[in-house]
Amino acid sequence: MKKACADLRLADRLRAFAPWRATIIACLCLAAAAADAGEPRLDLLEPQGAQRGTTVSVDLVGPRVGKSPLHLLLERPGVEVLRLEPVDGNRVRAELQLADDCPLGIHPLRVHTGTGLSNLRTLHVGALAEANEAEPNDAAEQAQEIALDTVVNGVVKAADVDRYAVQLAEGERLSVEIEAMRLGRTFFDAAIAVLDPAGEQIAFCDDAGPARQDAMLSLVAPAAGRYTVVVHDAAMQGNDQSSYRLHVGRFPRPTAAYPPGGQPGEQLEVRWLGDAAGERTETITLPADAGPDYGVHPADDRGASPTPLPLRVVEIPNALEAEPNDNREQPTAMPTIAAATGVIGTPGDLDHFRFPAKKGQAIDFRMYAQQLGSPLDGIVRIYNLDGRQLAANDDDRGKPDSYLRFNPPEDGEYLLRVEDRINQGGPEYVYRVEATRPAPVVDLRLDELQRYVSQTVVVPRGNRTVVMVTASRRDVGGPLQVQAAGLPAGVTATAPELPGNFNRVPIVFEAAPDAELTAGLWTIGATPLDENKPFATRFEQQTWLVRGRNNVPMWDYYADAPPIAVTEAVPFRLRLVEPKAPLVQNGSKDLQVTAERDEGFDGAIRVRMLYNPPGISANNSRSIPQGKSDAVVPITASGNAAVGEWPVVVWGEAGIDGRIVTSTQLVTLRVAPGHMGLTFPTVAVTQGGAGEYVVPLEQRTPFAGAAKLELLGLPPGVTAPVVEVTSDATEAKFPLTVAADARVGRHRSIMCRVTLTEADEPVVQTVGRGEVRVDPPPQPPQATATAAQEGRNS
């Protein structure tokens, strides 16, 4: 689900980093707030929305948000924080001034406290006067009277039905839109209905494309009178968390825009479709630098839609369909690079476009329909002029909007066909298929260290923290450098080069001891280290707001810039001791983590590797115990661990009235092949006897001194001494001593541990596997017969 974030030029934020972008208003002077609380969690805003042009008091509620609150981190303009005052540890009261021109819709915010940065929640800004639900309003005669042009804040409790009565004049437009799931609070699938003065239902909506799981509708009153708006859960459920904002007014509520996009700076003539009062055309000047989530709130003299309709702003021309184009004899002509735009206007409608293409010049066709709120479940197909299908796609990456890459087999003309998956159609089945040249792009995202918790950067003064970046390369290869820009003063970021054969890289952030306690958004980008391969970068961060069954995302917020906050110093600093000797394939190593503790803090600190380079695994359940200053993180390498130099980093967390996370610095771990190759024979020995196990050695890397070789996995009762070999030895001979009661049988897990010293550090390699068979001593013929007899009897 895409965020519905409108009128906002996110590109502005992405570019203008030097000035501190996000609105930060420091309101409190904290008297040397000590680190006495861990990460705050923001659960709820009370109220969840307000009218623009007003000043409103909003309580922010959640564990620890009230402990030394410093700022609200707001991502959009128009909201000013006048006061920020803790009520108690879990509640902070903000006095917010919403500008007259404050953008309508969703305003994401976080609470920055002395010790952390909360998760993201959304404040919902409306244009209409606010009112609150007054129970009881369940029965028809209890309907709550509201004025037209009102936002009602209500709750659908268990099996609750809420009714509101409004007076309409004949011919007056009534538009109703509910924000329920989109408040991001809980899985609340709201439905709305409108009853006429006689009590007959004349309009109903459960879900609507642009409103996703929420509902919107508009109607024109057939007669003057008292109309009732009914709100309930679609499955007649509900609970105390099922809150909503119900917009009831005369505002326009179209459900689709056509065409749904244009070029930057273009004067686009947009038709607003689906409004009960009829279609309306408006000329919109598209911004020069709109982001991927640009949208417009349709407005007229009677108001503005509470939520926007998305528009694509891309530097390719629109190719609007010209009906009839139902068959390949009547296609609409389009340039190769253009946005094929149309409407699957009737059930069974097929739209054809004809475009020229050259062999060897691939074209990407990407559909935008459901992403823009259209009900179309589109399929795109490419044909040659003879009608042979050359390419087709239905869904892309689990979403209904299609995508395909077309490689023209020869120079010539081709056909693009658009249809609905189940042959549905209607005036709002708008689509846009963007035909573009494949462009190299790197998609960046921050790995979630906790599942479903979007990662923030919270760096304590005089300390470090770390995030893991995944870089997905599309149509581009080679090494690259990930960069962090727009960081607060006093904060630096370090990221190693990302080699061409890997896609994850850590960024370590470090704050100076006197860095300002501030919060904001930063920019993440990447540049090619091979100058000949330029590419674009994109960043998107999903905040999971409402999840459905099986953790299906129902409502999320997608940000295009990650947040960062500087917090008070914490009473420990972690350091990773740089290993001097390599970790060898099939080897193991102990990474040493040390903690410098401040006086008075002796709590345990959990430590774990941020990530494992390919073929490496680590023990992630280790801690620096209470009162101690170091811990060992064992790591092992498989036989095919990637040889090379890998940046590694360990992060630690301690519970100090909440969770405090810091990290070590980056160190380089060298992964190398084992110094020697071993070959394992099969040897038979006899109980009470002796034997010799000879392991041929293939020396690969010279080493100083002697290597200790130890046989492991010997059968119980069989022992072998540790053998020492030098760098030029060709074999290791292990004398075997076999006890009289050594366990008889085949023992096939014989391994050898090789330990040598490099740079004063042990290098350990454990390889296998060989076999030692223990036989019973040969028995006199008589005894054998008896044993055989016993065997038959048993």
Interaction site with other proteins (CB under 8 A): 451, 586, 588, 617-622, 634-638, 712-717, 743, 746, 748-749, 751, 766, 768-769, 794
Return the closest-CA partner of residue 667 out of 744, 585, 610.
610
CB neighbour list of residue 601: distance below 8 Å, 6 or more residues apart: 571, 572, 654, 656
Smaller CB separation from other proteins, 232 or 608: 608
CB of 130 to other proteins, least distance (A): 43
Q: What dihedral angle (degrees, nearest 10) is formed by the CA atoms of 28, 34, 39, 42? A: -30
345 vs 209, 258, 697, CA distance in Å?
16, 12, 76
Sort strands 718-719 and 731-738 into parallel, antiparallel or unpaired: antiparallel
CB of 552 to other proteins, least distance (A): 18
Smaller CB separation from other proteins, 363 or 618: 618
| Tally of CB atoms within 10 A around 392 | 13
CB of 786 to other proteins, least distance (A): 17
CB of 448 to other proteins, least distance (A): 12
The DSSP call for residue 148 is S
- The identity of residue 249, as a single letter, is G
Smaller CB separation from other proteins, 438 or 716: 716
State both tokens at 502. Answer: 């890997």
Return the closest-CA partner of residue 67 out of 34, 99, 20, 27.
34
CB neighbour list of residue 540: distance below 8 Å, 6 or more residues apart: 443, 445, 558, 559, 560
State both tokens at 581. Answer: 């000797």
CB of 471 to other proteins, least distance (A): 18
What are the helix (H) ranges across 239-386?
Answer: none
Q: What dihedral angle (degrees, nearest 10) is formed by the CA atoms of 351, 354, 360, 361? A: -80
CB of 743 to other proteins, least distance (A): 7
* Positive/negative CA dihedral, 576, 577, 581, 583: negative
What is the distance between the alpha carbons of residues 472 and 480, in angstroms, rounded to a whole number?
11
- The dihedrals phi and psi of 16, each to the nearest 5 degrees, come to -80, 80
CB of 311 to other proteins, least distance (A): 39
3-state helix/strand/coil string of 642-685: CCEEEEECEEEEEECCCEEEEECCCEEEEEECCCEEECCCEEEE
CB of 643 to other proteins, least distance (A): 16
CB of 745 to other proteins, least distance (A): 8
Smaller CB separation from other proteins, 294 or 680: 680
CB of 367 to other proteins, least distance (A): 32
CB of 741 to other proteins, least distance (A): 9
Smaller CB separation from other proteins, 282 or 590: 590
Smaller CB separation from other proteins, 43 or 771: 771
Smaller CB separation from other proteins, 267 or 621: 621
What is the distance between the alpha carbons of residues 143 and 139, in angstroms, rounded to a whole number?
7
CB of 347 to other proteins, least distance (A): 41
Smaller CB separation from other proteins, 303 or 582: 582
CB of 697 to other proteins, least distance (A): 20
Smaller CB separation from other proteins, 192 or 695: 695
Smaller CB separation from other proteins, 670 or 773: 773
CB neighbour list of residue 141: distance below 8 Å, 6 or more residues apart: none
Whether the bond between 421 and the residue before it is cis, its omega within 30 degrees of 0, is no
Smaller CB separation from other proteins, 50 or 683: 683
Smaller CB separation from other proteins, 409 or 776: 776
State both tokens at 155. Answer: 């709750």
Whether the bond between 324 and the residue before it is cis, its omega within 30 degrees of 0, is yes
521 vs 119, 233, 253, 537, CA distance in Å?
14, 37, 33, 17
CB neighbour list of residue 732: distance below 8 Å, 6 or more residues apart: 678, 694, 695, 697, 709, 723, 725, 752
Smaller CB separation from other proteins, 522 or 693: 693
What is the distance between the alpha carbons of residues 178 and 243, in angstroms, rounded to a whole number?
10
CB of 544 to other proteins, least distance (A): 17
- Per the document, the length of the chain is 794
Smaller CB separation from other proteins, 108 or 613: 613
